A and B are shown apart, each in its own frame.
Chain A
């Protein structure tokens, strides 16, 4: 294993905070599925089952913050100095973080998927519905959700490298999700809005979207999100190469 990658794993396994953060993902999924089940949605409707699975994609907000901490957290605690003393080649450091955090983000998506399956099966059984594991929407939705968890971890690494201030980067990311993208979407109209990152992720993880918005097909949302991940990753590398570490 490359020493940069080995070191990133070692950093992650010697602190608790990233794992406590990632644990929020499956918790969000279970809470979301529970909310759907108790709100009176029909447990006989395959579309509702798919909506339950789509909570996995919503949990990607957690891997986004996890990714932001990869570089932003190192600036916050001053450990970035030691990292660059070990590896003066900064490109490889950021590349290793992108790979490791993307991988862990995908793994978090798998755990959230398991949580979604278990919670949905349990609630559907409790409500007397039939849970169709083989329904085509189930696996497509879960696969899209895992991909979104991976992509947003990568976007987070890039964003954290661009904006070293963790608080600022997290605040911007949350404001974008909660507010800015919705407003921007209305301003540019649904034809263009579907190319924005969270509209694209709604297409990818097949979560419910505002009725007025025409989303891209799932594969299209995936490609757009890969594009955003690549842009943020490249920008994060470029900025890191030029920056003085003071």
Chain B
């Protein structure tokens, strides 16, 4: 075929951008904007982000979880039972330890808590590996015990690691969600995620010699403490900036990105929630849960407005619930 004959065909073909590019551009924008804001005003951005988005992002997580929960657990009920027992039990223990025990015993208590947490996760991994799609989960126990040994050497190290790793779980969940619902978007999304380590490196380089955050007010102290500000030899400015950056990305993922691809309908519509489709009673129950969640969001806003440091402290203790709840959900999506 002569080249001149192909010309009309080529001219008629529309120019297509790589699939998922607008979504990936949004992700990149979120990452860059969060890093810049966290680097410039870490305390202010942290305060504003937690005030505005802590409650709504938890509500979105609950909404997403309801969408992903099967209407009936069936053969998976042991997995869901262990998940629920761990989420509730570990959260209750985490919240009550400082009240129940003297300060001198907290180190051992946190080591016990972390050991239970690690064995719980290992148990869930093994249970998950025995359901479809199956995989070899035999590595979970040795790894859990190796980490447990570390936990008893440095009891709070895992808690600090969770503070910094938990925000990234939302990005992993989003990756799994894209694999399910929009696989063509995933390459561009993963490319955009490369900006996360770049942003972390930029923050670390920019603030490596920064002095500690000024001010000894309770608010600054609370924000620094949430970021592990007592770590020896690390600038609280750097720690708070990194934690704030990760938190804002986490909130953005839950409030904007995951709803865009994972809810299947407007958040207030319960028709895509399997449990709500069982019967009228279940539909009313799901609606009641979501409404109660909205009420909690409003209560949090009022609490933040009245006494921000106290509400923030209470929130970050109770927030362990959603940190733990993400583990079984992530495992179900593997």
Question: Are A and B physically bound partners?
Answer: no
Could you list which residues of chain B lie within 8 angstroms of chain A, going by C-beta atoms?
A: none
